[in-house]
Amino acid sequence: MSGKTKATIEKGLNKPYGRRSIKTKSFVITMLLTLGIGGTVLVVGFVLYLAGMFYEYSINAWNMANAEAVILEDSDVSGKCNEIMDLYDSFTDEERGDGQSEEYKSQFDPVIDDQFIAIKKRMHRLKERHGPLNAFIVAIDEDQNKMIYLIDSDPNEETFVQPGYWEIYTPKQIQIFVHGNKISRWAELLDLQDNVQATVTNIDPYGWRCTAASTLYTYGRYTVLICVDEKLDKLFAVSWVFLRQYFFVLLLVTIIASLIGMRLIYRHMVAPINRMAEAAREYGENKQKLDSSKKFFDDLNIESGDEIENLAQTMKGMEKDLAVYMDDLTKVTAEKERIATELTLASQIQESMLPETNHPFPERPEFDVFASMEPARDVGGDFFDYYLIDEDHLAVTIADVSGKGIPAALFMMASMILLESRMKEGMSPAETLKAVNEQICENDNQDMFVTVWLGILEISTGRITAANAGHEYPILIHEDGQAEMIRDKHGFVLGGLPGMKYTDYELQLRKGDKIFVYTDGVTEATSADKVMFGADRLMEALNEVPAGQSPRKTMNHVHAAVDEFVGDEMQFDDLTMLCLEYHKG
């Protein structure tokens, strides 16, 4: 196994801490959450508040309009309004223009007589009595969505709207003025007034205002209304004051909550983690001294009652286990000579653990499998395995243990036994990897790990169910000889971290298809120029193999390509390959 993956893990474990502390992150997260929740509550509450206030203003304005309608419901008012409407109807649409030309407005001067002024003053007195901003009588033409002004109570000649002036409104606004705002779905539930002839608008230059109307009478196609305006400036002024106050209170609460949260997290999480990190740092600096009597985690006394305490206890257990390992390693070092004489026996034992490679399943014509392993030392950490789970399922495994020599060989044999025992219990590849990972993490005192590709061939269908624990990508060789790299989803290496999950996926083999799996000793084989063989050269070598070649010949061709590339350079890593061909059509 190349040291690249191992170095990556050690780099992550030794990364300096404190650049982005949990304490700082907790403060920021608490602030963002508090601001987010508070802001959401503010927006929702403010919208509901404005909706309620708009409704109240609409009801008040409508009540004032109804009151004025009762008072103005007489023949003098209707007669003058009818006179203005008759004059309005006497013009063509072209003569009316946009309703604002001086020529057009001047034609209504005759209707502004003593009776008109008397009604105007009367409306003005009513307006001052009831308190609206303005009161005016209009006629609604629903066919053309027009509002025609008849009598305006404004005494100011500069802002007074002359009779005959008209404006275009939206159909919805016209509907509200004439027939009311239909809220019958909510009226009974909320005990609200239904069919209110009022609307809230924001129109230049008038600004926010509530306009309510009450029907006086109908005249031909026109509906004559008394309208009142009520300004909403005060409402918005109060609302903005409330918003500013709420914002400052929210900001203060956010800061206080964030400081409290940061303090609690530091006390119950960050401080214990820092103590464990410091113990781990001291352990890392002193582990080379092989002093098993020195303890680094026993005196932590972390009693948080949560996962951090569990981690501290695990670290204590790990320290004790590693101390035992250090003692054993010292003894092993002292017995180096004796172990050296037994390497040959270890190599033979390891070789005997691997399955037969020369026609291992002669009675099964549906498939053919061939594999080989060349250790970089007397014994290696790579292994392959294949065996029948039942009459219709063939398990295929290839793995690469970190490290070299006897420890890797022992770890390899243990991993091989664990994988086979779990597979024969009926587990899927992903379930097998998960279970074995937990066993290795629980008992791995040597900080070793193993990458594994594990597949189950359903012989009757050619379907392979596989899972990958940090191993090289498998390669599918089609019947026509074209090789395709399957970039499957990688899980974490076995023995790296507990609690890892792995994912099953499927490959469909057809007659003549092959699956080629390998360890990184193939792709990381290095030439004298320090150039690696690589995945691209591996794919080229496989594509050079003629279609229909057996798994053995396919692997022999790849092996020859690697040997030619490496030349006389010393073999750096175990070189292991496996090829499975499916024959069933």
Q: Given a cut of 70, is residue 167 above it in pLDDT?
A: yes
| 392, 532: one domain | yes
Tell which residue, 178, 101, 116, has the closest CA to residue 146: 178
CA 42 to chain centre: 26
Q: What is the mean pLDDT of residues 122-145?
A: 80
Place 66 in a pLDDT band, splitting at 50, 70 and 90: confident
Q: Which residue has the tokens 């509450």?
A: 45
C-alpha to C-alpha distance for 567 and 585, rounded to whole angstroms: 41
Asked if the structure places residue 255 within a domain, the reply is: no
Please give the structure tokens belonging to residue 484: 């395709």
Q: Which of 238, 254, 286 is the last residue of a domain?
A: 238
Indicate the range of 21-35, 335-349, 413-427, 482-496 predicted with least confidence: 335-349
- Return all residues near 309 (Cβ < 8 A) that are at least 6 apart: 272, 302, 303
DSSP state of 426: T
Domain assignment present for residue 478? The answer is yes
In angstroms, the CA 481 to CA 543 distance is 6
Residue 330 included in any domain: no
Three-state SS across 64-114? HHHHHHHHCCCHHHHHHHHHHHHHHHCCCHHHHCCCCCHHHHHCCHHHCCH
Question: Is 486 a domain residue?
Answer: yes
What SS3 class is residue 59?
helix
Q: Is the pLDDT of residue 143 over 50?
A: yes
Give domain status of residue 2, yes or no. Answer: no
How confident is the model over 167-177, as a mean pLDDT? 86
Do 222 and 368 reside in the same domain of the chain? Answer: no
How many residues would you count in the chain? 585
pLDDT recorded at residue 475: 96
Share the mean pLDDT of the chain. 81
- 10 pLDDT more than 60: no
Per the CB < 8 A criterion, the answer to whether 338 and 304 are in contact is no
The average pLDDT across 269-283 equals 75
Is residue 489 one of the residues assigned to a domain? yes
- State the pLDDT at residue 203: 67
| CB distance 77 to 229 below 8 Å | no
* Cβ proximity of 114 and 120 under 8 Å: no
The domain tally of the chain equals 2
List the one residue out of 293, 282, 288 whose CA is nearest residue 324.
293
Count of CA atoms in the C-beta half-sphere (13 A) of 128: 8
- pLDDT of 441-459, one tens digit each? 887 666 789 999 999 999 9
Residue 55's pLDDT is what? 75
Q: How many CA atoms lie within 13 A of 502 on its CB side?
A: 33
CA distance 313 to 317: 6
Bridge partners of residue 384, in order along the sequence: 398
Q: What is the pLDDT of residue 212?
A: 83
d(CA 341, CA 336): 9
What are the residues facing 476 on neighbouring strands? 484, 515
Q: Single out the residue in 217, 238, 259 at which a domain terminates.
A: 238
Determine whether 334 is exposed, middle or buried from the number of CB atoms within 10 Å of its CB (0-12, 13-18, 19+).
exposed
pLDDT number for residue 8: 45
Q: What's the pLDDT tens digit per position in 184-231? A: 444 444 445 557 788 877 766 667 778 888 888 999 889 999 888 877
The whole-number pLDDT of residue 350 equals 64
Assign 399 to helix, strand or coil: strand
Q: pTM of this prediction?
A: 0.45
Identify the H or E element spanning 44.
helix 22-71
Residue whose C-alpha is closest to residue 322's, from 355, 348, 371, 286:
286
Q: Which residue has the higher pLDDT, 394 or 159?
A: 394
| CATH number reported for the structural domain that contains residue 509 in this entry | 3.60.40.10
Q: Is residue 576 part of a domain?
A: yes
Asked whether the beta carbons of 493 and 470 are under 8 A apart, the reply is: yes
Pairing outcome for strands 463-469 and 490-491? parallel
DSSP secondary structure string for all residues of 302-347: ---SSHHHHHHHHHHHHHHHHHHHHHHHHHHHHTHHHHHHTHHHHH
Q: How far apart are CA 238 and CA 244, in angstroms?
A: 10
The answer to whether residues 392 and 536 belong to one domain is yes
More confident residue, 229 or 557: 557
| 149 located within any domain | yes
Residue 161 has pLDDT above 80, yes or no: yes
Residue 141, domain extent: 26-238
Among 238, 266, 282, the domain boundary falls at 238
pLDDT band at 463 (very low <50, low <70, confident <90, very high): very high
Confidence at residue 105, expressed as pLDDT on a 0 to 100 scale = 81
Residue 13's pLDDT band (boundaries 50, 70, 90)? very low
Choose the weakest-confidence range: 73-82, 155-164, 184-193, 430-439: 184-193
Give the separation between CA 491 and CA 473, rounded to whole angstroms: 12
Sign of the alpha-carbon torsion through 379, 380, 381, 387: negative
User: Using one digit for the tens of pLDDT, what is the confidence trace for 82-95?
Assistant: 988 988 888 888 88
